[in-house]
Amino acid sequence: MAIARPVRALGLAAVVMWFFFIWQILKPTGSSHISLGPNGETIKSFERDPNLDPTGEPEGFLTYASEEYAPGPAGTGRINATLLALVRNEELKDMLSSMRDLERTWNHKFNYPWTFFNDVPFTEEFKRETKKLTKAECRYELIPKEHWEVPSWINMDLYKESTAILKENGVQYADMVSYHQMCRWNSGMFYKHPALANTQYYWRVEPKVHFFCDVDYDVFRYMQDNNKTYGFTINLYDSPESVPTLWPETLKFLAEHPDYVHENNAMDWLTDKLRRPFHNKNAGGYSTCHFWSNFEIADMSFWRSKEYEDYFNHLDRAGGFFYERWGDAPVHSIGLGLFEDKNRIHWFRDIGYQHIPFFNCPNSPKCKGCVTGRLTDGEAWLHREDCRPNWFKYAGMG
């Protein structure tokens, strides 16, 4: 049966419109353009992923491997720092894979100790197999109950009701109490463990992550010698449904402690509403942009400061680690964005890294096994979760 030409044209137009609509939803927003800043000024964000540009070592004073980094007491070049992993016995295989990568690309040159934390004792197998992969010291630490257990002021009936709603709203892991405990521990507990009392810097490592690039300088010395507090690789938006009252609670805290805010803070970055207005609106004024904290190289002195400690205690009492699903990533990021000098936060663009589904993959002959400049190997819409352009816009690429 012949179809009349106007009907065919209409059908074709509908198909074109449909593809255009789908493209609008899925197109990446990572590449950017000229936009207006909070005071009406013109801001140019990056035109292309900066990871496509050749990357070398960071500027500043760097310390390279030498006999001073030999394992054991001969390693006088090492500072007070550790590789740190919270991990379950069942994740041994994935932990070994992360260790292999980090030892190959970095730690076999520097031999920093590994410190493993668990809420139950590590098995002999876990200890034996992890020790095999490093010449460095390995420590196995049990988390004290009072650091891990759900705090006494949390009402478990309310927890169940609230998390059932979170689950309905698609918040991942909302009904796993251990996930809430883990987020709280990573937010405000890990650095209080007695085993870390004499340790200042840590590099957080999760099971099943990958490291792709040879790094030839001591990253902990880099932090110390260049006055850095926190280093990240990836910057993402969070799901607003997981943190609806985190920012309102933060504002209550700030009303009590206006003097805590650093004069060179990153408030613009925390409260940006230009790039993802819905996120800002649904998270009560917080952009939800955060440093993706499964990778962190940081100075624990900041978490141990009065400002951060008071902030954590305020949040802990408010209950959102359990009634909502506040993650350590937004909590750390807000703490840093408010109470630290933003120039002391460093993008480790030269450290090739992957935690499924995102990558930081620099353009450097030192990197193997990742695709330069590719943010994700997942679905196209994941590009929308990238908020690095905002950090670069408000704080630069230092």
Ligand X SMILES: Nc1nc2c(ncn2[C@@H]2O[C@H](COP(=O)(O)OP(=O)(O)OP(=O)(O)O)[C@@H](O)[C@H]2O)c(=O)[nH]1
- Residue 352: which of ligand X, Mg ion, none does it interact with, CB under 5 to 8 A by kind? none
> Mask of contacts with ligand X, 123-162, x by CB under 6 A?
----------------------------------------
Q: Specify the amino acid at residue 372.
A: T
* Unique residue bearing structure tokens 């937010």: 187
Q: Specify the amino acid at residue 197.
A: A
Binding positions for Mg ion, 189-228, rule CB under 5 A: 206
- Residue 101: which of Mg ion, ligand X, none does it interact with, CB under 5 to 8 A by kind? none
Instruction: Determine the angle formed by the axes of helices 177-188 and 306-318, rounding to 10 degrees.
Output: 160
> Minimum Å distance from CB 274 to Mg ion?
30
> Minimum Å distance from CB 147 to ligand X?
12
With CB atoms as reference, the residue minimizing the distance to Mg ion is: 206
With CB atoms as reference, the residue minimizing the distance to ligand X is: 178
296 as an active site residue: the answer is yes
Q: Are 105 and 217 in contact (CB under 8 A)?
A: no
Rounded-to-integer distance, Cα 360 and Cα 353, Å: 5
> Minimum Å distance from CB 232 to Mg ion?
15
- The residue within the footprint of ligand X, chosen from 77, 88, 129, 216 (CB under 6 A), is 88
* Unique residue bearing structure tokens 């500043």: 60
- Residue 341: which of ligand X, Mg ion, none does it interact with, CB under 5 to 8 A by kind? none
Rounded-to-integer distance, Cα 98 and Cα 222, Å: 22
- The residue within the footprint of ligand X, chosen from 57, 175, 206, 216 (CB under 6 A), is 206
Window contacting ligand X (CB under 6 A); options: 7-15, 81-89, 162-170, 299-307 = 81-89
Which is nearer to Mg ion, 88 or 131 (by Cβ)?
A: 88
> Minimum Å distance from CB 376 to Mg ion?
15
Q: Are 169 and 241 in contact (CB under 8 A)?
A: yes
Is 86 a binding residue for ligand X by CB under 6 A? The answer is yes
Count of alpha carbons within 13 Å of 101, Cβ hemisphere only?
23
Is 119 a binding residue for ligand X by CB under 6 A? The answer is yes
- Residue 218: which of ligand X, Mg ion, none does it interact with, CB under 5 to 8 A by kind? none
Instruction: Determine the angle formed by the axes of helices 124-131 and 92-102, rounding to 10 degrees.
Output: 20
- Residue 86: which of ligand X, Mg ion, none does it interact with, CB under 5 to 8 A by kind? ligand X
> Minimum Å distance from CB 48 to Mg ion?
29
Torsion of CA 102, 106, 109, 110, to 10 degrees: -80
> Minimum Å distance from CB 204 to ligand X?
8
State how far the alpha carbon of 266 is from the alpha carbons of 38, 193, 238, 240, in Å: 13, 29, 17, 19
State how far the alpha carbon of 41 is from the alpha carbons of 34, 44, 82, 289, 393, in Å: 10, 10, 43, 21, 12
Rounded-to-integer distance, Cα 114 and Cα 203, Å: 9
- Which of 17, 59, 70 is CA-nearest to residue 226? 59
Residue among 249, 296, 324, 385 flagged as catalytic: 296
- Residue 244: which of ligand X, Mg ion, none does it interact with, CB under 5 to 8 A by kind? none
Window contacting ligand X (CB under 6 A); options: 37-45, 87-95, 161-169, 250-258 = 87-95
Q: How many CB atoms lie within 10 A of CB 75?
A: 19
Which is nearer to ligand X, 91 or 350 (by Cβ)?
A: 91
- The residue within the footprint of ligand X, chosen from 163, 287, 294, 333 (CB under 6 A), is 294
Q: Are 25 and 18 in contact (CB under 8 A)?
A: no
Which is nearer to ligand X, 246 or 338 (by Cβ)?
A: 246
> Minimum Å distance from CB 86 to Mg ion?
10
Q: Are 85 and 95 in contact (CB under 8 A)?
A: yes
Q: How many CB atoms lie within 10 A of CB 156?
A: 10
- Residue 178: which of Mg ion, ligand X, none does it interact with, CB under 5 to 8 A by kind? ligand X
Residues catalogued as catalytic: 296
Question: For binding to ligand X (CB under 6 A), which residues are involved?
Answer: 86-88, 91, 118-119, 178, 182, 206-207, 294
Residues that bind Mg ion (CB under 5 A): 206
